[in-house]
Chain A
Amino acid sequence: MIEVQNVTKRFGIFTAIERVTFTVDKGEVLAFLGPNGAGKTTTMRILTCFIPATEGIARVAGFDCFQQPMEVKRRIGYLPETLPLYQELTVTEYLTFVGRIKGLSAPELRTSLDRVVERLALGDVRDRLIANLSRGYQQRVGLAQALLHDPPVLILDEPTVGLDPKQIIEIRELIKSLAGSHTVILSTHILPEATASCQRVVIINNGRIVAVDSPERLSARLRQSEKISVTVKAPPSDLADRFRALPGVMTVFESSEPGSFLLECKLGRDLRDDVARFVVGNGWGLLELKTVSMTLEDVFLRLTQHEEGVEDAGGAPGAGQDVQTTEHPRA
């Protein structure tokens, strides 16, 4: 249903995502998991035809996002990261406008509106101004907007950000109920979010896909592999790729701390010796090398930790230790 092949996006000289490749089958729910700045929003914007890719091919339902954007847009419901709401309209007025620009006829619009209002329990606030709604209701209006024209593909960018736990569970239930009949991609920087409602997880880090698997298999795999943490003093820019090319290395996670990598290696092989010789032999300066034992959660925590640390220093001491309940302030 969704096909992304070697998609690269550059903003000037900065590469936001590089050679991203994945597919999503019909009826599947896929999570895009990665720390802030990993390139999740960029990938979703390419799929929704909001921005064009610099290189590579993205297809939705067989239509090319660049060559047939209208066909793609017709088939996608999109919840952007920042809710696209007209504060001065009422919920009904807003959804009516959205339905019209999605090309629904008047009778279609009436039934669709009733359907989403019921599905998202918006009945009580139908005639209220969006500006006066709580965050949770606004998020639901955003979702109603994406579901309104009953598109076969849904792209939801951080759909549970800013919600309280009860609301998060409701949204997760809703996403689960969409599985099978709809193809869904959702992005998140919170691990339990991905494992709770998705059949497959794509982990993206620094603009590259580092792992694609089911949540169970990913954590099992990570449990059953050796992990080595390496810190290099003067890493060349393509060091992650070079590590990946070493025999026995399965996955390379790049921490947002420069020069720090986490290598996932085949079980029963101690690659520390090889890695040390590789780094020292190339004169990059080996600062640290050790085996670590980590779960998927730990790996993910580690990926995001650096960033959380920055936020801590920025005036929220103690926050951000527990990934499950951490919410990143939006810039």
Chain B
Amino acid sequence: MTPVHAIIAKELRAYFVSPVVYVVGAVFLLIFGVLSYLAVVNAGTQAIRLMQIQGAAAQLNLNDLVFRPTFYSLAIVLLLVLPILTMRLFAEERKLHTFELLMTSPIGVNEIVVGKFLGAYVIYLGLLALTGLVPFVLSVYSSFDWNPVFTGYLGLALLGALFLATGVLASALTENQIVAAFLSFGVLIVVWLLGALGSILGDTPLGNTLSYLSFIEHYDRLVRGLVDTKDLVYYLCGLVLMLFLAHRVVESQRWK
């Protein structure tokens, strides 16, 4: 077992003994359930209306009517929920004075940062896997194109990784957990709004740059079933940048 594994195992253990994860998990799954239920109900009423107009059973596109709106709303939910998952990562080590133990053990700061990120990411992937129940049940009663569903999940996995890495950076910056959570909300919302500003500015160089910088346009393409290397590179770079900054911050705290 490498030190990174040891950190991951410790973080998972800490998550499972803390009520925060159960609350966050329950809220996330509940919201996902409600969102997809509403989307399905909405699809049902549309089907009835279409039947009245056309007089025959209409072929509904579940991808457009159920999955896409659910994936979009879920991005907002992640933005609110994931900072709660990461806020304790470094703040708690400082509170318990275990930071000194980690920093005087023969492991690198990069191993600590990556281990903590992966610990939170495993929890998140677990929650995502549980939501897989919804498309599975729907596939039993109807048929739809699995492709955009898979790419949508890929989008969620990438978006979540970026959000969690931002949260790791925020928790390295402050000893206060609440401040860490709000810091990551703040950063993520600003980056999101950059994208909105970009689309207002339209097809200008500045507009395109802003849209590229925001995570939402890249997510949007994945949800629509388009896998483009450009988007994958964006998420990978964002993830590495956030973890690198977190590494620098943790390292620099020893110099104060």
Instruction: Say if A and B assemble together.
Output: yes
* Contact between chains at A101 and B1 (CB < 8 Å): no
- Set A83, A86, A101: member contacting B105, Cβ < 8 A: A101
Is residue A74 contacting chain B, with contact meaning CB distance below 8 A?
Answer: yes
Q: 1/0 per residue B82-122: CB within 8 Å of A?
A: 00000000000000111111111111100000000000000
* Contact between chains at A83 and B6 (CB < 8 Å): no
Contacts A52-B254, A88-B17 known; A73 to B98 CB distance under 8 Å?
A: no
- Set A87, A93, A101: member contacting B7, Cβ < 8 A: A101
Q: 1/0 per residue A85-119: CB within 8 Å of B?
A: 11111000100011011110010000000000000
Is residue B31 contacting chain A, with contact meaning CB distance below 8 A?
Answer: no
Q: Give chain B residues whose Cβ lies under 8 Å from the Cβ of A82.
A: 97, 100
* Contact between chains at B254 and A80 (CB < 8 Å): no
**Interface segment, one of B8-16, B135-143, B160-168:** B8-16
Q: In the assembly, what is the distance between CA of A100 and CA of B101, in Å?
A: 13
**Interface segment, one of A20-28, A43-51, A221-229, A316-324:** A43-51
Residue of A with least CB distance to B107: A101
Contacts A50-B254, A101-B6, A101-B7 known; A88 to B105 CB distance under 8 Å?
A: no
* Contact between chains at B6 and A100 (CB < 8 Å): yes
Q: Give chain A residues whose Cβ lies under 8 Å from the Cβ of B10.
A: 86, 89, 97
Residue of B with least CB distance to A89: B13
Q: What class of interface size applies to chain B in its complex with A? A: 20 to 34
Name, among B17, B105, B254, the residue most crowded by chain A CB atoms within 10 Å (CB to CB).
B105
Q: Give chain A residues whose Cβ lies under 8 Å from the Cβ of B17.
A: 88
- Set A52, A76, A101: member contacting B255, Cβ < 8 A: A52
Is residue B59 contacting chain A, with contact meaning CB distance below 8 A?
Answer: no
Is residue B3 contacting chain A, with contact meaning CB distance below 8 A?
Answer: yes
Q: Give chain B residues whose Cβ lies under 8 Å from the Cβ of A123.
A: none
* Contact between chains at A100 and B3 (CB < 8 Å): yes
Query: Using a CB-CB cutoff of 8 Å, which residues 48-93 of chain A contact chain B?
Result: 48-52, 70, 73-74, 76, 78, 80, 82-89, 93
Q: A85-B96, A89-B10 are in contact. List 18 more A-B contacts (CB 8 A).
A: A45-B100, A50-B254, A52-B255, A73-B105, A73-B106, A74-B106, A80-B100, A80-B104, A84-B96, A84-B99, A85-B98, A87-B96, A89-B13, A97-B9, A98-B105, A102-B105, A102-B106, A106-B1
Residues of B within 8 A of A (CB): 1, 3, 5-7, 9-10, 13-14, 17-18, 96-108, 254-256
